[in-house]
Amino acid sequence: MNSTPGGVMKPLALTMGDACGIGPEILAQVFRGGSGSEAVRGAFVLGDLAVMRRAAALTGGMLPVALIEHPAEALACPRGCLPLLQVAGLPGDLIDAPLGVVDARAGATAAACIRAAVARALAGEVAGIVTAPIHKEALAAAGVDFPGHTEMLQAWAGAGAVRMMLANDEIKVVLVTIHTSLRRAIEGVSFDAVLETLRIAQRAAASWGQHSPRIAVAGLNPHAGEGGLFGDEEITIIAPAVAAARAEGIAASGPFAPDTVFMRARNAPDHAGEFDIVIAMTHDHGLIPVKYLGVEHGVNVTLGLPFVRTSPDHGTAFDIAGRGSADPSSIRAAIRMARQLASVGG
């Protein structure tokens, strides 16, 4: 996945994200010279020339933005240069969309960049995709009928079941349910959904070289239901799914109390984690512990796609858009993880 039959490395496709947010700025930051720029050697941005030139100016200038016509051209671009593949059909007045404000033009552009990246990935032209942050309200304003990246990628890639994983150097968390109301998320916790999540996590871990990961499954209710006193989903749904996974050879265990399992799984210098992956039932159950450890270190990985996809663990940050001060650490981590996953997968 990471190289051509002749052994030449493939580039990474980086989508621009919401033009009114910090996505273009953090991308410009990582392409600048210095030790941190090594991660983006051979990568390119799918986006808009005017927006990326503005981002370069906002983050200190002196960053040439070079138009390319094919992903492979990015491999020959010198360090300290930002290769850009202009996405066709973007709004002609996109640069006029005000920074820090929800705008339909930015939503339409973000979706078009993602779709273009998926097409390049399915054509085998890139090693993987790294997506800069998008804004769900801007997508809705543009008439894009998807609540987020995960659902878009799944549909446009023609993938089966996919799952969101949030990861850093200390913990990996895979979610059973994602962008839906809490009430609907609880309804979405089924035997099939939990078992499929365990299977996807197992296959993903094998793809990065971990063939028998220790997978902990968090409960849904306080204290994992306390034997049915606080809800019976653990007894009727989650535990049977764990048992079925174990019967398939998956090293799953649980359900464990969700207020302590993440601490047990954390792999810190002074604490060896008991588990390699934690399965969480709902979005916030799983994302809060990862983000608490540092948004700048977190990476969002979509499992189950036919290509590698990562993104930073933060949003568009409209409140600081245009200042040129956004921290690029998380997108740099996402780029590095995409490189690692593509390298192992290839």
CATH number at residue 126: 3.40.718.10
Q: Is 298 domain-assigned?
A: no
pLDDT at 148: 84
| Per-residue confidence band for 37, with pLDDT thresholds at 50, 70 and 90 | low
Q: Is 251 domain-assigned?
A: yes
State the maximum Cα–Cα separation within the chain, in Å, rounded to a whole number. Answer: 63
Q: What's the structural domain count of the chain? A: 2
The DSSP secondary-structure symbol of 9 reads: B
User: Cα–Cα distance between 254 and 257 in angstroms, integer?
Assistant: 9
Contact 6, 89 (CB under 8 A): no
Residues 87 and 53 in one domain: yes
Mean pLDDT of 213-237: 93
Q: Is 177 domain-assigned?
A: yes
Q: Is 328 domain-assigned?
A: yes
Mean pLDDT of 311-328: 93
Q: pLDDT tens digits for 115-137?
A: 999 999 999 999 999 999 999 99
The DSSP secondary-structure symbol of 234 reads: I
Residues 108 and 180 in one domain: no
Q: Is 325 domain-assigned?
A: yes
Terminal-residue alpha carbon distance, the chain: 4
User: Cα–Cα distance between 87 and 113 in angstroms, integer?
Assistant: 6
Contact 49, 20 (CB under 8 A): no
The DSSP secondary-structure symbol of 214 reads: -
- The 3-class SS string of 249-313 reads CCCEEEEECCCCHHHHHCCECCECCCCCEEEECCHHHHHHHHHHCCHHHCEEEEECCCCEEEEEC
Other CB atoms within 10 A of residue 198 CB: 26
pLDDT at 248: 97
Residues 205 and 322 in one domain: no
Residues 198 and 152 in one domain: no
User: Cα–Cα distance between 119 and 152 in angstroms, integer?
Assistant: 12
Residues 151 and 19 in one domain: yes
In sequence order, what DSSP letters do the residues of 130-182 get, joined into one string?
EE----HHHHHHTT---SSHHHHHHHHHT-SS-EEEEE-SS-EEEESS-SS-H
Q: Is 138 domain-assigned?
A: yes
Contact 141, 107 (CB under 8 A): yes
Q: pLDDT tens digits for 138-156?
A: 999 999 998 888 899 999 9
Residues 30 and 103 in one domain: yes
Q: Is 164 domain-assigned?
A: no
Residues 323 and 283 in one domain: no
pLDDT at 314: 87
Residues 4 and 145 in one domain: yes
Does residue 190 sit in helix, strand or coil?
coil
Contact 220, 207 (CB under 8 A): no
Residues 3 and 98 in one domain: yes
Flag whether pLDDT at 6 surpasses 50.
Answer: no
Contact 221, 234 (CB under 8 A): yes
Flag whether pLDDT at 39 surpasses 80.
Answer: no
Residues 116 and 201 in one domain: no
Query: What pTM, to 2 d.p., does this model score?
Result: 0.87
What is the average pLDDT value for the chain, to the nearest integer?
A: 91
Looking up tokens 């409960």, which residue turns up?
219
Contact 27, 45 (CB under 8 A): yes
Q: Is 301 domain-assigned?
A: no
Flag whether pLDDT at 66 surpasses 70.
Answer: yes
Residues 206 and 94 in one domain: no
Residues 20 and 154 in one domain: yes
Residues of 69-103 as b/e, b for ≥16 C-beta within 10 angstroms? eebbebbebeeebbbbbbbeebbeebeebebbebb
Range of the domain at 246: 169-293
- Decide which of 293, 316, 337 is a domain's last residue: 293
